[in-house]
């Protein structure tokens, strides 16, 4: 089995300091949380950014400042920018961080409900537009799927030549509106992707660590962080993203899986530049 790539989704667009005071908003807080995750064993930082008051933004300038601050304290970490942003943002807003030529970016492969009245919109034409911009800049997409039909969309766009092979997927399990976080759901997702693909799994809320264990034992990779869950265990808020990553490292060690460094992660994901 390949070494385990741990992705830390340190900030997200929706989670707030009211839910956990360690959720980062400022540039300094984002760098602090990235370093805590990296020091604990994360190779990859999935990045959203905020204004100082916590408002989610896709501003190129804000991403630039945050990425520089992250690179100062975790020089070799892979930074994966979000093109999902927050529900309701325009396509142009969401696409801004691609102008910074990051190594990776998310490619959300379908529309889904996101709780309450929220709808996270990703039409077929949007997905094609987003991936073409990534291809132009040699940015590796991480295909975000919240439901099985989104895998089928990615496969369709692969056959049409838009999404390149080998694909890399992130299964986000347990969103209110997407697939749930049962082991059989994950097996279904993993069994549905093209041969030769890599995958990581993100469990939302109480699904985070059960899904992490499944990812470890099934030979996939794991995403944890405040974007998906703010608790270290039931009723115990995590003091930092580093604590969530450290827990995955402990689980992986118990289960006999070694942790990938950022350069090992680059090789596993087929990233062509550092």
Give the interface with ligand KMH as residue ranges (CB under 6 A). Answer: 13-14, 82-84, 86-87, 106, 108, 114, 120, 144
Q: Which does 2 bind (CB under 5 to 8 A by kind): ligand KMH, Zn ion, none?
A: none
Enumerate residues 187-246 that contact Zn ion by CB under 5 A. Answer: none
Residue 195: CB minimum distance to Zn ion, A: 27
Nearer to ligand KMH, 7 or 82 (CB): 82
Nearer to ligand KMH, 134 or 249 (CB): 134
Q: Which does 120 bind (CB under 5 to 8 A by kind): Zn ion, ligand KMH, none?
A: ligand KMH
Structure tokens at 124: 């077929």
Phi, psi dihedrals of residue 114, rounded to the nearest 5°:
-130, 35
Residue 73: CB minimum distance to ligand KMH, A: 22
Distance CA 216, CA 219 (A): 6
Contact pattern from residue 74 through residue 93 relative to Zn ion, giving x for each residue in contact according to CB under 5 A and a dash for the rest:
--------x-----------
Across the chain, the runs of DSSP E, i.e. the strands, are 6-9, 44-47, 49-50, 56-57, 78-81, 104-108, 112-113, 119-120, 140-145, 168-173, 198-203, 221-224, 231-233, 236-237
What is the b/e burial string over 216-254, where b = at least 16 CB atoms within 10 angstroms of the residue's CB?
A: beeebbbbbbbbbbbbbeeeeebebbbbbbbbbbebbee
Residue 231: CB minimum distance to ligand KMH, A: 19
Summarize as ranges the residues that interact with Zn ion (CB under 5 A).
Answer: 82
């Amino acid at each position: 089995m390949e070494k385990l790539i741990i992705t830390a989704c340190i900030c997200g667009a929706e989670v707030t300091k009211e839910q956990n005071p360690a959720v980062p908003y400022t540039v300094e807080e984002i760098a602090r949380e990235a370093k805590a995750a990296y020091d604990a064993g994360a190779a990859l930082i999935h990045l959203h950014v905020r204004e100082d008051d916590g408002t989610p933004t896709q501003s190129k300038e804000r991403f630039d400042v945050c990425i520089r601050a992250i690179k100062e304290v975790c020089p070799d970490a892979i930074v994966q920018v979000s093109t999902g942003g927050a529900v309701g943002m325009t396509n142009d807003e969401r696409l801004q961080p691609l102008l910074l030529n990051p190594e990776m970016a998310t490619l959300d492969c379908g529309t889904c409900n996101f709780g309450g009245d929220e709808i996270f919109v990703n039409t077929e034409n949007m997905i094609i537009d987003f991936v073409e911009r990534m291809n132009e800049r040699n940015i590796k997409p991480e295909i975000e799927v919240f439901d099985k039909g989104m895998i089928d969309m990615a496969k369709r766009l692969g056959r049409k030549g838009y999404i390149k092979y080998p694909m890399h997927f992130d299964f986000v399990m347990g969103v209110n509106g997407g697939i749930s976080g049962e082991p059989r759901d994950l097996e279904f997702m993993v069994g549905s992707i093209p041969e030769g693909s890599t995958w990581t799994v993100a469990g939302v809320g109480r699904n985070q660590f059960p899904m992490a264990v499944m990812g470890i034992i099934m030979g996939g990779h794991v995403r944890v962080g405040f974007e998906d869950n703010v608790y270290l265990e039931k009723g115990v808020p995590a003091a930092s993203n580093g604590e969530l990553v450290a827990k995955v490292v402990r689980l992986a060690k118990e289960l006999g899986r070694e942790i990938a460094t950022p350069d090992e992660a680059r090789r596993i994901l087929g990233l062509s530049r550092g």
